[in-house]
């Protein structure tokens, strides 16, 4: 408590001075930062080498320290690779990821049975392919269980090397980049904060860094942001969120329409956490600048939860990069963790749920046994009793570039507004395509491999879809537009997506979020907002063209 007060006070002080400096000296601050590496002269705003505003250097360093911690060595701001990373590399050195192009129900049934028997780690499941991580030694035994027609291809031949590559390298360069990007130009505060932005999104970040960063944002944008605690994880970590919205001048007796955006439900899906952070950052800094976002935040709250499963996320940094579930103790001592996306209480029992705690899709023995799922649901229900109306839910995951809508638990029942759900999903996919050229497919969340050719109950499925968060929010809280979005990529790296994809993935999802917001505002999609004929929207068009490059 004391620490957080201390941190908060520091953040407020730093951000206030940073912003003041930027506003007060719009042109002069361009030269404000000591670029030569010589120390500033604190007694004079300009020393003989032309250095001005020596405090800015201190502030810049302080802001970096607030977010990234004190430099652990002269080389950089943190020792990014976890101490056990070498062991991790070793641990996965014999693993490969195989892709199976499943085309018949028999093939799917055989693969499902084998995956169950061998407790395989299913990385992706789409109507076109199934990706499975497996030790090289087990490949032959696996193939003997499958029809001869089902020949896999090696997607990631060396998982150990890929694991090693995703931890941020020690970056002296990062600090340099941070320093140069903190040089202020006449654009003012945005640019100042951009320094944090650039470094923050140049790599995946640890839970501690994300938490500090969120606190900084709250301190810097107090009028539109509020840090909230959704609940506590199994291991006692706070599940933190930022609520973003502009309430002044709004009739508070009306229910506050709210969009919930979650990431990090599965620990290893780092791109989902970085993307929620990117959206959060972009929305906050676009407020007051981009008309649509400004309007959106006046009429809606957006609650951003970058890490719903903090225990699992922390574990991927400290111990096991490929950890998916929570860290909750199960009935089986050596198999920890519950799959939070099979833990929610809607149609939990209807699904043929996984009962083996060692399975990656084990969601517990009863609905909401998983602490984090239960906390999220309790928080959300409580919100609805405080005049909040959830209208949209975007649950970000990876990988396979899919936009999935309810229901997950069955294909036999159509959601009442299926047509609208599908239409909006297609619009989101289009917004992404316009933004980056990346293709995201749209389908019901119930569709696994070749599901469309299967009759209900005909043979085992690779993964059951009961207890999903999108079903619960859609049905229980009437969040009419609920989606699970599986982000990049389509399998080249899978969960081990390199950090170069953080910004492009964030950008394409930002475009999707704008479409989503525009749709909810009733503007019938991005065509109108980005209408070329509409002269008043010329800036948006420029923005869109810039993004399409």
* Strand duo 95-100 + 256-262: pairing: unpaired
CB of 409 to Zn ion, least distance (A): 16
> Total residues contacting Zn ion (rule CB under 5 A)?
3
CB of 495 to Zn ion, least distance (A): 9
Asked if 361 contacts 354 with a C-beta cutoff of 8 angstroms, the reply is yes
Q: What is the DSSP letter of 250?
A: S
Per CB under 5 A, which of residues 177..216 are in contact with Zn ion? Answer: none
CB of 265 to Zn ion, least distance (A): 6
d(CA 455, CA 189): 58
Burial state string for 501-524 with b = 16 or more CB within 10 A and e = fewer than 16: bbbbbbbbbbbbbbbbbbbbbebe
Asked if 133 contacts 287 with a C-beta cutoff of 8 angstroms, the reply is no
Per CB under 5 A, which of residues 244..303 are in contact with Zn ion? Answer: 266, 269
CB of 487 to Zn ion, least distance (A): 10
Nearer to Zn ion (CB atom), residue 11 or residue 115: 115
CB of 103 to Zn ion, least distance (A): 25
d(CA 497, CA 164): 12
CB of 339 to Zn ion, least distance (A): 9
Nearer to Zn ion (CB atom), residue 266 or residue 353: 266
CB of 234 to Zn ion, least distance (A): 18
Site for Zn ion contains 321 (CB under 5 A): no
Asked if 145 contacts 110 with a C-beta cutoff of 8 angstroms, the reply is yes
- Residue nearest to Zn ion according to CB distances in the complex: 397
Nearer to Zn ion (CB atom), residue 133 or residue 266: 266
Nearer to Zn ion (CB atom), residue 53 or residue 313: 313
Binding pattern for the stretch 76-115 against Zn ion, x by CB under 5 A and - elsewhere: ----------------------------------------
How far, CA to CA in Å, does 167 sit from each of 89, 132, 388?
11, 22, 39
Per CB under 5 A, which of residues 350..409 are in contact with Zn ion? Answer: 397
CB of 268 to Zn ion, least distance (A): 8
Asked if 76 contacts 172 with a C-beta cutoff of 8 angstroms, the reply is yes
Nearer to Zn ion (CB atom), residue 273 or residue 435: 273
Nearer to Zn ion (CB atom), residue 107 or residue 121: 121
Nearer to Zn ion (CB atom), residue 266 or residue 488: 266
Dihedral angle computed from the Cα positions of residues 33, 37, 43 and 46, in that order, rounded to the nearest 10 degrees:
-50
Nearer to Zn ion (CB atom), residue 269 or residue 320: 269
Asked if 98 contacts 152 with a C-beta cutoff of 8 angstroms, the reply is yes
Q: Give the sign of the dihedral formed by CA 344, CA 277, CA 391, CA 236.
A: positive
Binding residues (CB under 5 A) for Zn ion: these are: 266, 269, 397
């Amino acid at each position: 408590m004391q620490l957080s007060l201390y941190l908060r006070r520091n953040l407020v002080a730093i951000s206030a001075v940073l912003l003041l400096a930027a506003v007060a000296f719009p042109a002069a601050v361009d030269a404000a930062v000591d670029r030569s590496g010589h120390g500033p002269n604190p007694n004079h705003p300009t020393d003989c080498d032309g250095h001005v505003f020596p405090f800015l250097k201190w502030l810049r360093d302080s802001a970096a320290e607030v977010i990234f911690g004190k430099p652990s060595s002269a080389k950089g701001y943190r020792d990014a690779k976890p101490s056990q990373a070498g062991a991790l590399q070793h641990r996965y050195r014999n693993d490969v990821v195989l892709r199976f192009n499943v085309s018949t129900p028999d093939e799917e049934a055989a693969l499902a049975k084998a995956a169950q028997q061998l407790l395989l780690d299913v990385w992706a499941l789409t109507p076109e392919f199934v990706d499975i991580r497996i030790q090289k030694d087990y490949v032959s035994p696996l193939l003997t269980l499958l029809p001869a027609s089902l020949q896999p291809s090696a997607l990631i031949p060396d998982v150990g090397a890929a694991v090693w590559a995703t931890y941020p390298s020690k970056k002296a360069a990062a600090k340099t980049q941070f320093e140069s990007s903190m040089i202020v130009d006449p654009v003012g505060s945005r640019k100042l904060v951009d320094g944090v932005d650039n470094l923050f999104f140049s790599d995946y970040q640890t839970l501690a860094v994300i938490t500090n960063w969120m606190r900084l944002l709250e301190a810097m944008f107090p009028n539109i942001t509020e840090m909230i605690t959704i609940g506590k994880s199994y291991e006692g970590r706070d599940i933190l969120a930022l609520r973003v919205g502009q309430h002044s001048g709004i009739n508070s007796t009306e229910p506050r329409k709210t969009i919930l955006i979650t990431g990090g439900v599965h620990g290893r899906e780092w791109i989902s956490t970085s993307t929620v952070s990117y959206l959060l950052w972009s929305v906050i800094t676009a407020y007051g600048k981009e008309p649509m976002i400004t309007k959106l935040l006046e009429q809606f709250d957006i609650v951003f939860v970058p890490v719903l499963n903090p225990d699992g996320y922390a574990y991927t940094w400290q111990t096991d990069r490929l950890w998916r579930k929570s860290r909750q103790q199960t009935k089986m001592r050596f198999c920890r963790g519950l799959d939070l996306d099979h833990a929610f209480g809607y149609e939990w029992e209807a699904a043929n749920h996984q009962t083996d705690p060692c399975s990656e899709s084990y969601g517990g023995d009863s609905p909401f046994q998983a602490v984090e799922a239960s906390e999220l649901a309790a928080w959300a229900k409580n919100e609805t009793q405080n005049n909040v109306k959830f209208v949209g839910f975007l649950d970000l995951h990876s990988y396979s570039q899919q936009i999935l809508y309810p229901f997950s638990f069955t294909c036999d029942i159509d959601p009442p507004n299926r047509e609208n759900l599908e239409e909006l999903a297609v619009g989101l996919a289009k917004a992404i395509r316009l933004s980056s050229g990346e293709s995201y497919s749209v389908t019901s969340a119930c569709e696994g491999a070749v599901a469309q050719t299967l009759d209900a109950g005909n043979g085992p499925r690779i993964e059951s879809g009961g207890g999903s968060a999108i079903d619960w929010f859609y049905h229980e809280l009437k969040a009419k537009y609920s989606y699970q979005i599986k982000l990049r990529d389509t399998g080249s790296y899978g969960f081990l997506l390199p950090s170069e994809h953080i910004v492009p993935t964030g950008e394409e999802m930002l475009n999707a979020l704008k479409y989503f917001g525009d749709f909810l505002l009733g503007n019938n999609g991005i065509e109108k907002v980005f209408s070329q004929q509409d002269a008043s929207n010329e800036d948006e068009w420029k923005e869109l063209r810039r993004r399409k490059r």
